[in-house]
């Protein structure tokens, strides 16, 4: 029994941390060209710490050929204004502008989200490599390279906690039992229960009263003005006769 458990554990460990490769292609126009392949190397879980920002795997790029790399660099240099520069692996691709890679000397940063258990990538995004990241790399002379440099950032899948269905069902059952036993009887007064219905009526009545008083005073002023005007007209007529 112990031997069987050990064999199963060994098989699980070897499969979980087995390397795998994915193809890499590029496109500056309508068609894609083969560039090489990416080898992803999962790290043991003791080295994988999300809180310390340690990636779950490392990756390295292997070119199809030296000629393919030179042609890649040449294609980018000849098309600096292209906005739809794509890198593709299988059905996963990412697009960016060639212009952004000029300042980084065509150094690429590829951010890959990978399902390490099933040995497949879920997303691929490419950016011009930040200068701060390039400065931390030793023994790399960017200006003397005949092909673009590729750096990698591998992200794994993070399992989020699911909903606590058991606690919710337990709470619903307790509330149902309490209602059946009458433990949740509402002892509030009539006003406490239905105050929300009285407030709009009171506000409407107060607003209506204010509007009525305003309208009444306005009409009263208008009537007084009319009386004064009529009195003046009658006085003028008496003087005329």
Mean per-residue pLDDT over the chain, rounded? 75
Could you report the per-residue pLDDT of 197-207, keeping only the tens digit for each?
A: 888 888 888 88
Could you report the per-residue pLDDT of 221-237, keeping only the tens digit for each?
A: 666 666 666 665 555 54
Q: How confident is the model at residue 213 (pLDDT cuts 50, 70, 90)?
A: confident
Kindly state the tokens that stand for 240.
Answer: 């005329």
- Cα–Cα distances (Å) from 79 to 88, 94, 100, 176, in that order, read 18, 18, 12, 69
Q: How confident is the model at residue 186 (pLDDT cuts 50, 70, 90)?
A: low
Average pLDDT over every residue of 84-113: 87
CB proximity list for 48: less than 8 A, separation 6 or greater: 54, 55, 56, 156
Q: Say how far apart CA 186 and CA 193 lie, in whole Å.
A: 9
Average pLDDT over every residue of 137-162: 64
The pTM assigned to this predicted structure is 0.54
Q: Is the pLDDT of residue 88 over 70?
A: yes
- Cα–Cα distances (Å) from 82 to 43, 114, 129, in that order, read 37, 29, 18
At residue 27, the pLDDT reads 92
Could you report the per-residue pLDDT of 111-133, keeping only the tens digit for each?
A: 998 888 888 888 899 888 876 66
Q: How confident is the model at residue 46 (pLDDT cuts 50, 70, 90)?
A: very low
Beta pairing class for 108-115 and 120-128: antiparallel
At residue 107, the pLDDT reads 86
């Amino acid at each position: 029994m112990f031997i069987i458990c050990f064999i199963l554990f060994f098989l699980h460990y070897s499969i979980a941390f087995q390397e795998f490769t994915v193809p890499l292609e590029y496109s500056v126009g309508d068609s894609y060209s083969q560039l090489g392949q990416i080898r992803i190397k999962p790290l043991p879980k003791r080295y994988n710490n999300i809180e310390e920002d340690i990636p779950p795997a490392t990756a390295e790029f292997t070119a199809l050929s030296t000629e393919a790399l030179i042609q890649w660099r040449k294609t980018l240099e000849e098309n600096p204004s292209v906005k739809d520069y794509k890198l593709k692996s299988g059905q996963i691709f990412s697009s960016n502008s060639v212009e952004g890679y000029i300042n980084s000397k065509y150094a690429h940063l590829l951010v890959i989200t990978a399902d390490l258990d099933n040995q497949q990538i879920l997303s691929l995004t490419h950016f011009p490599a930040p200068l701060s990241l390039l400065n931390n790399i030793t023994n790399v002379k960017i200006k003397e390279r005949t092909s673009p440099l590729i750096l990698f950032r591998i992200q794994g899948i993070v399992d989020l906690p699911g909903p606590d269905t058991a606690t919710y069902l337990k709470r619903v059952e307790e509330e149902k039992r309490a209602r059946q036993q009458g433990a949740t009887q509402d002892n509030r007064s009539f006003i406490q229960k239905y105050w929300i219905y009285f407030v709009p009526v009171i506000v409407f009545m107060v607003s209506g009263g204010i509007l009525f008083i305003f309208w009444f005073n306005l009409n009263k002023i208008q009537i007084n003005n009319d009386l004064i005007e009529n009195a003046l007209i009658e006085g003028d007529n008496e003087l005329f006769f």
